[in-house]
Structure 1
Amino acid sequence: MEINIKGQLFTQKEIAEKVKQLAQEIEKYFGDEEIVVVCILKGASVFTMDLIREIKNDIFLEFMEVSSYGMETQTSGVVKIVKDVDISVEGKNVLIVEDIVDTGLTLQYLKKYFSGRGARDIKICTLLDKAQKRTKEVELDFVGFEVPDLFIVGYGIDCAEKYRNLPYIGYVED
């Protein structure tokens, strides 16, 4: 794989420290209650796996694939569920885990979606927040890092399916 990384934003060590901090915040909020952790595929998979190893609560791990991009770099504005969770969330605590939030479109949709399915409490955890790109109002409950408006890659985040396996978070020119 030809790596065309223009810069590094966060090291592997910085990410690991932030993941531990987020896990502690999540534990403090939920107390000893069970959590349905919903990993948004594919980008949040690496972050989610590291995060759940740090959370002491009993969890149900679920995966959901949602798309508003396809193979494009700009959102289509329409959220499509490609793969839904396999269990009922009715009456349960749901923690949506996302890699990066920009427009907020997907997460606004997912909060309404899980609310409509009867979830008792719905919280959002994101490793990265690109707040300057926000077009939809959505509350992020647990945020790792704020990032500038760059094309972010690494630690599960891709550019045309490349760079997910990088142990750090960097950026490429788009």
Structure 2
Amino acid sequence: MNEIKKVLITEEQLKARNAELGRQITEDFKGKDLLAICILRGSYIFFSDLTREIELPLEVAFMHAASYFDGTESSGKVNLPDQNMLSVEGKDVLLVEDIVDSGRTLAALKATLLKKGVNSLHIVTLLDKPDRRVVDIDVDYSGFVVPDEFVVGYGLDYDQRFRNLKYVGILKEEVYQ
């Protein structure tokens, strides 16, 4: 694909890391009432692959959350349209995110869910960009730490494109500038 500057994480690396994360989450959540929440749209592929690696009965739910509305920079504003539709009281919640960048989206989600009376709240992200953090947010499980580059694939997009790639790649700057 001509728009990709470099493959950052291969399909094989993604599969192996999902298996590792699944084993770790299985161990950590044994005997708990686990609710895995997929943060749409970017984490849908990661969520699907990861939850199949978790060897526990679990409930799944989906939430829209966004801080990117146009372009490649977080807007600083977080939109949570599904927050009132989700029953989380007394549950052990695992938020499944595609990428933690500024931390704003997860901080808003975390605050919202904690107000709803969750038993516990944990965060797993496929990709982590700690150098971009503007909000202090703890990530319990991280797939890969990535450089401050615009990445696409495996659910992550630019302008709703490239989500279908089987790998995570760095998008060429000329595509989004």
Report the TM-score range of the alignment, normalised by the length of the smaller protein. Answer: over 0.9
Deviates more, 1:71-80 or 1:44-53: 71-80
Q: Give deviations 1:5-27, integer Å, cap 9, x for gaps.
A: 00001110100000010111111
The answer as to whether partners of 1:62 and 1:85 remain within 8 angstroms in 2 is no
Aligned length: 173
Q: Give deviations 1:10-65, integer Å, cap 9, x for gaps.
A: 11010000001011111111113221111000100000000111111111110001
Where does 1:151-162 land on structure 2 (aligned, <5 Å)?
151-162=150-161
The answer as to whether partners of 1:129 and 1:146 remain within 8 angstroms in 2 is yes
Aligned to 1:150: 149
The answer as to whether partners of 2:92 and 2:121 remain within 8 angstroms in 1 is yes
Deviates more, 1:123-132 or 1:78-87: 78-87
The answer as to whether partners of 1:62 and 1:86 remain within 8 angstroms in 2 is no
Where does 1:24-43 land on structure 2 (aligned, <5 Å)?
24-43=23-42
TM-score, with length taken from structure 2: 0.93
Where does 1:132-147 land on structure 2 (aligned, <5 Å)?
132-147=131-146
TM-score, with length taken from structure 1: 0.95
* Structure 1 CA distance for aligned equivalents of residues 7 and 84 of structure 2: 33
Aligned to 1:97: 96
* Structure 2 CA distance for aligned equivalents of residues 41 and 111 of structure 1: 15
Matched, 1:115 2:130: no
Structure 1 gap segments, 5+ residues each = none
User: How far has the Cα of 1:94 moved from its partner?
Assistant: 0.5
Q: Which runs of 4+ in 1 moved over 4 A?
A: none
Code of the residue aligned with 2:18 in structure 1: it is V
The answer as to whether partners of 2:83 and 2:112 remain within 8 angstroms in 1 is no
3-state DSSP class of the match of 1:82? Answer: coil
The answer as to whether partners of 2:72 and 2:150 remain within 8 angstroms in 1 is no
Q: Give deviations 1:133-174, integer Å, cap 9, x for gaps.
A: 011000000001000001000001001111100001101133
User: How far has the Cα of 1:85 moved from its partner?
Assistant: 7.0
Deviates more, 1:133-142 or 1:82-91: 82-91
3-state DSSP class of the match of 1:47? Answer: helix
* Structure 2 CA distance for aligned equivalents of residues 156 and 85 of structure 1: 25
Q: Percent identity?
A: 39
